[in-house]
Structure 1
């Protein structure tokens, strides 16, 4: 059963109207906020269950909190009572503090900005929605007799539905705020508990049933070193005294070496007239020199600026970088401060095999080239926009989720190259054609990736 379909049934129009009345916000904005919170909580729980501790915590909270789905049967009635509604919010706040620690405030501000409601309302809705989501999950645990591993596995079966359901404008901020890069790209998996500790112990198989284990614990052998008979109080004092003398001697020797090195350095500086620089200065100077070529190129008083060649686009500070097609296209634009932001460049060198997340040969070179540009221009922020119309039928993957996973994979590689994730936005537009479109517009080419300059 689709988790999001169940939640849509529970959070019907009557329920949402009562929730909006409680938080004193417009129904439309409340609906948008609650939907955003559903995606946030489910995504956060997926991430949480990638660790063994998270798997146990989620299952234990459902069991101890008696989240069995009974609330969802008469939710509209319960919400008529403000005191009961407040109790549900308080209960959800406690759960969020344990399952998504230190994230309540950031989630509240994200939802507040996304739905256009007060931050206090977003926090209240977070607690209430958390309680509802756990009751829906608890009903699955009860009906399907799931154990902790089974619950985590069941949660991860919703990953494709999650990627497809999250609104396009909300996905980037959700991924970055909650840290769902690994989840949405399909790289994260639910953790499995290690329970094989002795003969006859019940071992979960992840589906709710158990089997009797006959495995035994292999305990490491313990060896004992002979005790030094001289290690008495007097012996200890002697050792401490020797250690203190040795430390003093090392200190005197180190100070002597330091003074000689300092004098030698001062002499060398006077002789060669070279200023001492720090590692930070080196990095700043490298960036300055790498920026020098494109800036000087556009600053020359020529009526027309021609794209730089491989020899001019790459600074001497980066002799290993080769100026490819992407560099030739973007460098004149990025180096000219007068040109407005927002220009889109095709990432033509990057492509994927049909219906997969496997990059074709030569794609890595273009991704590396983009990483070099991001390092060369430290203020540069980009948005990766992916299109796909080659999702394989019968796999459960849509063109939208495939396009998003592809651009997110490129984002992950850029982050691995040392680029801060806040500088890279990633969205997938599927085929790029609305479902109800009848214009007959030709769909984008397979595996099309664009780079949009957000900040220069």
Structure 2
């Protein structure tokens, strides 16, 4: 009997897995089941897309092999509970390899389709990814598949996988194609192209490549020897010249920024930048000190403007809120801004907000979700302690790295914008 990849992956998500996932996430079993029914074909479609239309069958094969061994129900359950074996963190890398910066969009689509929270959809997606790719990776390893033969294997599985994508789930648009039919056609064309490549031609190309590489290597060695001779000559001249000796300052190659907490609230001005101080006037006559363009300035302007409509897409970032590294303990220097937000809410009693916590893609994705949730809750609790009406801050949610834009390998300068606590205006 031929191997059916879709069926193999579905078989990993038993009723026990669904039940435990629902209990762990605080969602209904039907909601989790719906999410899984969308996640599985979405992940496998991502694998088809990478191998076919993206033309990276070797990359798709490597991703699958990296996950080999994660395709067990026990691993999925353990990942949901305590990230056993680091597979949830690995899921972040694998997802990036399949969908790039579209992971956040995929998470939102799954949450909307299944009727569950985005944080729950993200956790399920990160836990399911190693399991789904692991099933393909284990088969590829057992069959000793190469990149081209793995592409042929995926091409044989495409009909079952693409037909399982739920109706109305715009997966093709998410990956930048007009339709799943287009994906199927491109995958077939790519597989046919590999099959028609003459073996002799491939060997000839490899020989030419090896010859070029050898020539390049000889050239590099020659250059290296010349550079060494120049450096020695300079050293001798410098040493004999009796010139002034300059002390060399050795800088630590691992800066404190490199070790920064992945979920630290964004500080919008880490550089020495002069910020313009302003006075923000509230409807009740009180005036608060703030910075031009800061959260107080933006939030009050939005609440005063009747033409601006609230909604889940309306967010404002705290710009002077910090936590102790690796914890949800709010730093004392954050109190003025928290007090300002509490005052603003009292001045606009009809306003209702939601607190959101975000991290970059570094580290463990499940751990980042937990920490971002704890920090969002900490901000909400801090506002309540400042006598904010609880009805005005009904919810706080940690999204972890689901909406991060910079990859995990990006510089800290790029990733810092993904670390923040934000306020969403839901009513005004």
Asked if these proteins are the same fold (TM beyond 0.5), I'd say: no
TM-score, structure 2 normalization: 0.42
TM-score, structure 1 normalization: 0.40
